[in-house]
Structure 1
């Protein structure tokens, strides 16, 4: 049966799935460090570390899991008629599409492509204004509708946001212009239709599934691929391990166990949750366990992260996640970031538990570079397989 599934998927990919090449820009964190503004920024946001995890109220929708300081995998879309091109972060941790507006006066909009509504023959203004709060700041958007194109995919009358105000740091340093959310409709600001809903309703996907491949050695020209409408078995080894979605909000699944080296921690004995988020670069973990993992990995907290000895990386233990009864190890070479000889853990803290009270992890690009990931909308499940 598994062999048949692979054959069918290959046929689906050939008949209509769309590949979007992802580019890898320089980390925003590295850009801000070079500009001399990173230290002050990090000190500032630490004043209120749980702000990004507060629940939504009114017209404010909070996306708690995007780490824009490191998120730098992006691809190209166009909006309008004639098409206006934008680079966007394809984000499974949010559900809205937004790009900068020509009316945006924030410095963050000056060096990015801006949508010119008057130049599009198919634009329809919406008028509603919303604030979307990310961990790194709030973006004010005004809704409108227009034609969305992603290569051969065309969605007419797609609702999207036009940003009128963006925080200078860190958005000014981002290589991408906007964000295209790929999470569930329940997360969308204002209850607007998501891009994926538009693709499904207008029969633009070969199958109700999409998948990500992130290269372990990305370049600006090629950082990986997003495949809309299928999966590519040529990009992973063995079979996909499927985990059912536990809450149709983010792509959230149950984490059954977590081990450091050969030692199962027991941290998930009463259950853990993991959000799979392509808009987060780092691996985030429950705050209660931070001290234990820093001790086990020999890391020291600094103003720029949790530092480790670059010469000792090969002796550090693997971090192993268990989904669907299958162990998915993360080697130290994957979770340690080496920036010009300065090594830090690709780990930060998740300050609050998941909505059901269980410890919450977020699997960002540090994890996803190692594991090809498929998002099955028809069966509400996420699949993992070791990337090639």
Structure 2
């Protein structure tokens, strides 16, 4: 048993010795092979060093047979260099783009095309605006405008208005004391109509026939006609499908002597004849103006350059009022522009407490109930006439009149309470700007607005009066 174990151990040792010897033999063979390869490389290197750059015999023979080969070789080298430069340039450009796009700052350089001699047109601009409006959900439409007023002898303030396509221009009277728009119609035979511009339905491509009969009566005149529908433009603003009236009768002398072709009502819809939506409310409904309000500034004097303006959609009237600061008071009845006038003073004498009043741009004077009218004229020192006027000498020293609105005092200088007129005999006299109306409300017409720019705010149902007066 012991002998068997000794034999097994001897065999194992012999196997290990043989294995190690074989591995050493393999390693020596590998080392010799590597040395041979290295030696061959060194030998070839030495050969190259000994030969240097000398051309071979074959090369010499070729050079003798081809004397122009050197020149051709030079050209070939130059061409190769040029190609390499182009190739390197292209590689550099690619490398730059790749480097830019993969840099830590994530900046990519991309070429932009530029069209030479490109002419920008209004169509380009409109297309771009339409694109921006669709993308960001807003519009570029004009939402405010200004109409210049012409003053005729401090009695009439007029401006321009257009109807139809193409536009037919009219001179109109802006009237906050009514709510309908009308102009002289094509079939009117009255004397007043013959003196004014007529609306021609057949010349407008946007005219729509309505045909409903229309009648309206003012304190100083009346007219009749028919309703029509068309596009209306004023102050650079356009309202589509606006209902208005074409006069067929303008009886009496009121409109015969007028310097306007029609009237633009600017009151609430509730006092509109036939329930027609007024122009300003349609401006608001069609988003033509924003916010929904307008302001009127009137200037004294007789020239058109000093007539004032109507501001649609804003109340930036500082050029006329000296300030954009207003005293606001709420509308008490949504028909006329009616509010509460808290008190009236002539000099230091209080002639009225709280009373209802209306701001009316279509009235040149001011009115007061009988009791207040008599108190005012007594202090002014004027003489009442049978025709309802109160005359005085233009040299009369007249005290100031103060009206309290929204807790603010608005002072009309005494001289502004007189209006110069000529009698039928050509004599110049002065009359009080206040005339008599038996009952409330009082009416503050142009004689008041001329000194205080007024804001008519549909959005908030309020009236604003400029806190600063201007000289006229």
Tell me which interval the TM-score lies in, with the shorter structure as reference length.
Answer: 0.7 to 0.9
2:150 corresponds to which of 23, 44, 50: 23
Provide the residue aligned with 1:123 in structure 2: 207
Distance 1:297 1:387 in 2: 22
Provide the residue aligned with 1:337 in structure 2: 419
Deviates more, 1:94-103 or 1:287-296: 287-296
Q: For residues 362-373 of structure 1, what are the structure 2 equivalents within 5 Å?
A: 362-373=443-454
Distance 1:372 1:285 in 2: 21
Provide the residue aligned with 1:236 in structure 2: 321
Structure with the larger helix share: 2
Does structure 2 retain, via aligned residues, the 8 Å contact 1:218–1:224? no
Provide the residue aligned with 2:11 in structure 1: none
Deviates more, 1:303-312 or 1:96-105: 303-312
Deviations 1:286-342 (A, max 9, x none): 112222222111110235621112112xx2111111011111111122110123631
Describe the SS at the equivalent of 1:163: strand
Which runs of 5 or more structure 1 residues have no equivalent in the other structure?
1-13, 28-69, 354-359
Distance 1:151 1:212 in 2: 13
Provide the residue aligned with 2:469 in structure 1: 387
**Does structure 1 residue 279 correspond to structure 2 residue 368?**
no
Provide the residue aligned with 2:382 in structure 1: 299
The Cα RMSD (Å) is: 1.7
Cα distance, 1:16 vs. partner? Answer: 3.8
Describe the SS at the equivalent of 1:371: coil
Distance 2:469 2:171 in 1: 25
Describe the SS at the equivalent of 1:169: coil
Distance 2:306 2:202 in 1: 34
Distance 1:290 1:342 in 2: 20
Q: Using structure 1 for the length normalisation, give the TM-score.
A: 0.79
Structure with the larger strand share: 1
Distance 2:142 2:225 in 1: 37
Provide the residue aligned with 1:114 in structure 2: 198
Q: For residues 30-179 of structure 1, what are the structure 2 equivalents within 5 Å?
A: 70=155, 72-179=156-263
Aligned pair count reads 321
Distance 1:317 1:82 in 2: 52
Provide the residue aligned with 2:23 in structure 1: none
Provide the residue aligned with 1:254 in structure 2: 340
Distance 1:168 1:254 in 2: 35
Cα distance, 1:151 vs. partner? Answer: 3.4
Does structure 1 retain, via aligned residues, the 8 Å contact 2:142–2:289? no
Deviations 1:211-254 (A, max 9, x none): 01111234134411001010123322352111110000000010
**Does structure 1 residue 347 correspond to structure 2 residue 434?**
yes
Distance 2:345 2:369 in 1: 14
**Does structure 1 residue 324 correspond to structure 2 residue 406?**
yes
Runs of 4+ in 1 over 6 A off after TM superposition: none
Provide the residue aligned with 1:40 in structure 2: none
Larger radius of gyration: 2
Distance 1:24 1:260 in 2: 28
Q: Using structure 2 for the length normalisation, give the TM-score.
A: 0.66
Q: For residues 180-219 of structure 1, what are the structure 2 equivalents within 5 Å?
A: 180-219=264-303
Does structure 1 retain, via aligned residues, the 8 Å contact 2:377–2:432? no
Deviations 1:162-214 (A, max 9, x none): 11101231100000100001100101100011101211111111321110111
Q: Residues 165, 15 of structure 1: CA spacing in aligned structure 2 closer, same or farther, 3 A cutoff?
A: closer
Cα distance, 1:26 vs. partner? Answer: 4.4
Does structure 2 retain, via aligned residues, the 8 Å contact 1:277–1:362? yes
